[in-house]
Amino acid sequence: MNTESPSKIPGLPARIAALRLLDAVCRRGETLDQALPVATAKLSNPSDRSLAHNIAANALRWMTALDAMIDSATKKRLPDDAKARMALRIALVQVLILETPQHAAIATALPLVHGGPRRLVHGVFSTVMRGLESGALGLPEHPEIPGETLDRWTDRWGEDVAIAAGQAWAQSPPLDLSFKTDDAGELQGEKLASKHLRMQPDKPVTELPGFDEGAFWVQDLAASLPARLLGEGEGKTVLDLCAAPGGKTMQLAAAGWKIQSVDNSEKRMERFTDNLSRTKLDAEVVIADLMKWEPAEPADAILLDAPCSATGIFRRHPDVLHCIGSRQIADRAEVQKTLLDRIAPWVKPGGVLVYAVCSLEPEEGEEQIEQFLEGHDEFEIVPVTADALPDTISPTENGCVRTLPNMLADKGHLDGFFIAKLQRKG
């Protein structure tokens, strides 16, 4: 990458990393999590890595509005992946969202197009700044969900949900904590369910009372629902499949299940084992490919948190809405079907299979289970009852669970999940 020496301009290394992150998402279709290690490899300061991620994430979240401002100041539209457009997104999001002084934003943006159209970038930035000062330009109240996704969600869930998604996208998500017991100790917040607390922290989670003692772990309320549906384990066996980073395993261990936790990512399982150690909870950890691995014997229960588009967790991962389209959704749905077919025999007769995806796409949820039941008449839906869920969430008509962005809107919103509880006939 042809940029000026980072050592000459304060703050430039973080902006170079932000540019690499945006390039990875917008041109190569990577997620921020995938791109982060390489993009920030040269940043030794954790605050610089955090800044790079924050710039890129907010640029992705507000990209539609940022691009409209850029396009208003150019005679010929810049290509979507042009470095000049990337640099302008980085400069504008700093001024508009992160409240960076204008001179610092442009001083660290111009070196990003070293050897390129610096005069164009400076001119467009200045024009947009004048437009903002005059009131001719400005950010909308909420960021706009990218077009294809907005159309898809409006069609499938209705305009109210699509509007709520934009509202949720604009806010910093609250901190949701799951606890080993129903005692939150010194922590203050809103109890949305048993063993759960939602709060707006004023310090890093690692500094909260009870963290070092392993009293809790970070887990959105929606993500806690699949394990809740399995109830108390009483020593019965459960397979937690695609288990990293471990929130569901810790819930199950705290509820008395005997667990094998399987995931194919060695790196993610490092964090998993760290969490188990901190919380002093037990599980047998297996790093393996589910298409090659199989258990020694069937289990009383299986929890499959299947690989999916992850469009339901867009609040914390704005990149997914720029990476995921109909083709990617179809590809992931095929993977889910293959996994369901493979693991079905691993459930004991009379045992339970909980299927979950953090997706807002019916192809990965409602339609996936409908298709599975058509091909597996040995399974049937066990209708989830209202008393198995937090008061704020209700089961669907057929007894499954679907969470949407308009739920808990007055309390910080909710991730999008689909969950089905199935039983293998005995």
pLDDT 10s digits, 157-206: 999 999 999 999 988 889 999 999 999 999 999 999 999 999 987 888 99
pLDDT 10s digits, 62-89: 999 999 999 999 999 999 889 999 999 9
The predicted structure's pLDDT at residue 2:
44
pLDDT 10s digits, 345-394: 999 999 999 999 999 999 999 999 999 999 999 999 999 999 999 998 99
Element (H, E) at 274: helix 266-279
The predicted structure's pLDDT at residue 4:
47
Contact 228, 192 (CB under 8 A): no
Over range 327-344, report the average pLDDT.
97
Quickly state the pLDDT bin for 3 (edges 50, 70, 90).
Answer: very low
Using a pLDDT cut of 90, give the percent of the chain over it: 86
| Mean pLDDT over the full length of the chain | 94
- pLDDT tops 50 at residue 1: no
The predicted structure's pLDDT at residue 147:
84
Contact 166, 142 (CB under 8 A): yes
Secondary structure of residue 219 in the 3-state scheme: coil
The predicted structure's pLDDT at residue 171:
83
**Other Cβ atoms within 10 Å of 409 Cβ, number:** 16
pLDDT 10s digits, 91-146: 999 999 999 999 999 999 999 998 889 999 999 999 999 999 999 999 998 898 98
Identity of residue 232: E
* Residue 259 CA neighbour count, 13 Å, CB half: 30
Q: What is the DSSP string of 179-215?
A: ESSS--TT--SEEEETTEEEE--SS-GGGSTTTTTT-
- pLDDT tops 80 at residue 7: no
Over range 39-61, report the average pLDDT.
94
pLDDT 10s digits, 212-251: 999 999 999 999 999 999 999 999 999 999 999 899 999 9
